[in-house]
Structure 1
Amino acid sequence: MKISEIKERKIIHRPTLDFDEDGKRIYHAYEYYLPYNPSFKNSETQRLFAKWIDMAIFSLIFYLLFNKILIASILLSIPCVIIFGAITEFYFGTTLGKKIFRMKVIDDEGNYPSFLKSISRNILCLANFYPVFSERTTKTVAMGTRTGTVMNFSMHMNNKICKTYIVKESKIEEIRSLLDVELPKNNERLID
């Protein structure tokens, strides 16, 4: 089984227009099987900071040890982060920046990605830094309705293409246990 094939059972209670004899609203329960989402809230921001931490370390190495100017140090750190990131993700499932935020990279089978998959996702991360601009409307009592432009970074394209996931370290055991569970076929029963 793969992570992309895991389904989660969700029960949603929707109110009806009817009430019982005590005056309480009657709800209908609807059952859905939705795709499992192994990611976590605020992952894009943490991934962006993790990448900046990795770049800062290599930039400091080039700046302090090799006496390069700051711009050259930053530019030289980019290929180093890509290559070193691919190696560490292949062996450990994480980089130093991701380790600080307790994140791991896993593939669709729940393992650390292969070296080729890791190098391709790290090369594709350069396209992730393309900012996405969107409008956001806020309402406040004092200022009324205000519309402004918000800049976000889309940090999920490389994972979508390479079929990898960024998860918290604490969630890996849950994901692997879900992958070990084998569902019975349509007409088969589990026999003890």
Structure 2
Amino acid sequence: MKISEIKERKIIHRPTLSFDDYGNRIYHSYEYYLPYNPGFKGNETQRLFAKWIDIALFCVIFYYGFGIQIITGILLSVVCVIITGALSEFYLGTTIGKKIFRIKVIDDEGNHPDFRTSLKRNILCLANLYPNFSEATSGSIAMGTRTTIQMHFSMHLNNRMCTTYIIKESKIPEIKSLLEDTRSANNSHRID
């Protein structure tokens, strides 16, 4: 069983135009089975900071340890982060930067990704750093209506292409349990 095959039951209550005898609105319930999402909201920012932490560690090592100039150190750091990131995700499921934010990388079966997949993820992370810009309008009494430009990083390309997931460490038991429940349900259907 794979994480991408797990379905989550959701019940959505939609209001109608009708009211009951007490004046309360009547709702219709709709039941959906949606794909399970093991990720968490706001992981793009945490992943970006984790990557910058990993790069900064290598920059410090190259600058103070080897006396390499900052720009050259940054370029070498990116290469080192890709290689060491692939190795540490393969063995531990995380990097130093991700460990600070308690983030793990898992494959579609709930395990650490294999080395090839992890290397592909880390190479594709370079494309993730390309920012998207959008307009945002906010209003307040003191300042009136203001339009600002917001920058967003799309950090999902490498996960989609490699079928990996970024999760919080605390969510691992839940995912393992869901995978076991789904496996046992599928095995019981095969026996019947």
Can you list the C-alpha shifts for 1:19-71, whole angstroms capped at 9, x where unaligned?
11111111111111111111111100000000000000001000011011111
Q: Would the aligned equivalents of 2:6 and 2:182 in 1 still touch at CA under 8 Å?
A: no
The corresponding residue for 2:159 is: 159
Where in structure 1 are there 5+ consecutive unaligned residues?
none
The corresponding residue for 1:177 is: 177
The corresponding residue for 1:78 is: 78
Q: Is 2:121 the partner of 1:121?
A: yes
Distance 1:182 1:163 in 2: 19
The corresponding residue for 1:98 is: 98
Q: Is 2:18 the partner of 1:18?
A: yes
Q: Is 2:138 the partner of 1:141?
A: no
The corresponding residue for 1:41 is: 41
Identity, % of aligned pairs? 68
Q: Displacement of 1:138 after TM fit? A: 1.7
Q: Displacement of 1:123 after TM fit? A: 0.4
Q: Displacement of 1:147 after TM fit? A: 2.2
SS in 1 for 2:182: coil
Q: Which amino acid letter does the alignment assign opposite residue 169 of structure 1?
A: E
The corresponding residue for 1:4 is: 4
Q: Hey, which bits of structure 1, 4+ residues long, moved more than 6 A?
A: none
Q: Which amino acid letter does the alignment assign opposite residue 176 of structure 2?
A: R
Question: Bigger shift: 23-32 or 121-130?
Answer: 23-32
Q: Which amino acid letter does the alignment assign opposite residue 174 of structure 1?
A: E
Question: Bigger shift: 11-20 or 89-98?
Answer: 11-20
Distance 1:189 1:69 in 2: 63
SS in 2 for 1:182: helix
Write 1 or 2 for the structure with the bigger share of helix: 2
Q: Would the aligned equivalents of 2:137 and 2:147 in 1 still touch at CA under 8 Å?
A: yes
Q: Which amino acid letter does the alignment assign opposite residue 106 of structure 1?
A: I
Where in structure 2 are there 5+ consecutive unaligned residues?
none
Q: Which amino acid letter does the alignment assign opposite residue 155 of structure 1?
A: M
Distance 1:178 1:68 in 2: 49
Distance 1:120 1:189 in 2: 36
TM-score calculated relative to the size of structure 2: 0.93
CA-based RMSD of the aligned residues comes to 1.7
Q: Would the aligned equivalents of 2:133 and 2:150 in 1 still touch at CA under 8 Å?
A: yes
Q: Would the aligned equivalents of 2:8 and 2:36 in 1 still touch at CA under 8 Å?
A: yes
SS in 2 for 1:111: coil
Q: Which amino acid letter does the alignment assign opposite residue 62 of structure 2?
A: F
| Closer, same or farther: CA 26–190 of 1 in aligned 2, 3 Å | farther
Q: Would the aligned equivalents of 2:18 and 2:25 in 1 still touch at CA under 8 Å?
A: yes
| Closer, same or farther: CA 26–75 of 1 in aligned 2, 3 Å | same
TM-score calculated relative to the size of structure 1: 0.93
